[in-house]
Amino acid sequence: MIITKPWKSVEGRDLLLIEFGKGDKKIFMCGTHHAREYISTTYLMYMIDRYAYMYETGQNLWNYNIKEILEKVTFCIVPMVNPDGVNLVQNGINSVKNYDFVSKLPITEGKQYGYKAWKANVNGVDLNWNYDFDWNVERNKNVRGSSGFNGDYPNSEPEVQAIINYIGTINFEAFLSFHTQGQVYYWEEGKNKKTGIDKLVGRNSGFTRVYDNPSSPFGGSFFDFVYWKFGKPTMTVELCKYIRNYPYPNEDFDKVWAPAKHIPLIFGSEIIKQ
């Protein structure tokens, strides 16, 4: 079921929520905090399509019973957190509503790719650094632009406000956020039980777990915020091989899907067991 909430981006685009499944146990998933990483939205939408088809036709994916999982779990999915940024990446500077403002913002990373390297929203704020947990003042010294600025204050951006307000109303069992690039994942186990989800993800995908460096300023991310606020199993997945190019080529999507197709099912299956 696709739900249109009264959530709007900076330019007034809808932030869509898809409730996929019938179960009481709920898992939150999101993609495309960063504009140039919109292939994570493609991954989530394709996942819904494939799982729904297998549910209707009675198919399993490897040893995961999709029908059983979708009867007991609901995946609550915001497939595109940053639609304005994606529009800028795909359609260029002339497509934005506030041309005079956005055109003056610097491209601070990957200048050779122009607006295709854009990560932030159209306010020039990196949405994945804007969350109110250990929001890092040092990052605030950066300037508004394509990347690197965490906002004038925590939770300043309407896209982040929408996510925070929503997840605060539901007792989610786990949180999953999808990014690119690197084929790695960041993981924190739930505070109450050991699930073993991380080992299953690594074994099935071939991705490598990355551990945060405590001396690095990682605060303010969605990952930090949800884990330390709710204490539930939390994972950020970097879906694609690192290719030093932006955005990841659409024609290589099969290479993104193949190793990661089990990840939501792993979460669903293990959450059911708790």
| Whole-prediction pTM | 0.94
**Rounded to the nearest 10 degrees, how much is the dihedral formed by the CA atoms of 158, 164, 169, 172?**
140
Task: Please state the φ and ψ torsions of residue 176, each to the nearest 5 degrees.
Answer: -135, 130
Q: Strand pairing of 184-188 and 208-209?
A: parallel
CA distance 87 to 124: 14
- Please give the angle made by the CA atoms of 67, 17 and 58, to the nearest 5 degrees: 15
Please give the pLDDT value at position 139. 62
Please give the pLDDT value at position 215. 44
| Helices vs strands, H then E, count in the chain | 9, 8
Domains of the chain, start order = 2-273 (3.40.630.10)
| Residues near 128 by beta carbon (within 8 Å), at least 6 away in sequence | 33, 34, 179, 220, 221, 222
Q: Is residue 181 classed as helix, strand or coil in its secondary structure?
A: coil
Please give the pLDDT value at position 205. 96
- Please give the angle made by the CA atoms of 98, 104 and 106, to the nearest 5 degrees: 125
**What secondary structure letter does DSSP report for 13?**
-
- Nearest-Å Rg of the Cα atoms of the chain is 18
Q: How confident is the model at residue 246 (pLDDT cuts 50, 70, 90)?
A: confident
CA distance 232 to 190: 4
Is the per-residue pLDDT at 218 higher than 70? no
Q: How confident is the model at residue 219 (pLDDT cuts 50, 70, 90)?
A: low
Rounded mean pLDDT of 224-251?
92
Tokens 């969350």, residue? 131
